[in-house]
Amino acid sequence: MGGSPVWDGTLSLDNFNASAAALVKRWKEIEVDDSLPDWTWKPCSKMGAPSEVEGYLALEGVYRDCGGSQEQIDENDNSDGADVVACDTWVQSCSDNVHVYDFHVVYSYSYKVPVLYFQGHRSDCQLLTLDEIKHHLPSNSLKVLSESKWTFITREEHPHLSRPWFTLLPCATSDWMKLLLEESNEAIQEQSLRYLSAWLSVAGQAVGLKIPLELHCNS
């Protein structure tokens, strides 16, 4: 018999939860761009699992400039203060040139890996189409999208919200995660704790979400 078990790049639900907690903690410890909010854990109950067991990670309210000018407050502006809004973020959120994105990381029972769900909307809360979202995707993702159409990004029902969200298909996630983490020579338990941080460093880039390098580094 002998020999160490070979890790297949997947994640159990318990390990997903533990890795999610580690990511939330690590995110608060590193230096993150002020434009990015904190990742939070959203507990829920579905498929018979108690709320403390099943849930998902959420990064909500990420603002992106969709081109053109942005409304900003000039500190040296001497105009009437009654007409000036003091909060730049509020002004940007109300601008037609700014889109707001939400990102959710959900555990897939079928693939046993995390899946990234995301959606964007305008200041009037109108959801963005895929063509509009393309303007915020990096060039390499646009290339893959043009070649593989809906096999890269698709739209399906959010497992916990029962509404259609865009998602990155997870078919090959376990394969590239195995390659990404097996070189670290860490114990499987340590790999599991760092799984989501490592995964997000790749999956986030695919949708233009800039993840600090420190998130994937050992603390």
* Nearest by Cα to 101 from 153, 129, 62: 62
Q: And the tokens for 129?
A: 């189409």
CA–CA distances in Å: residue 108 to residues 74, 96, 133, 203: 47, 35, 24, 15
Cβ atoms within 10 A of the Cβ of 56, count? 22
Catalytically annotated residue among 44, 94, 125, 171? 171
Q: Is 66 in the active site?
A: no
Chain Cα centroid distance, residue 111: 18
* Helix-helix angle 188-206:173-182, to 10 degrees: 120
Q: And the tokens for 135?
A: 């303007």
Residues annotated as part of the active site: 171
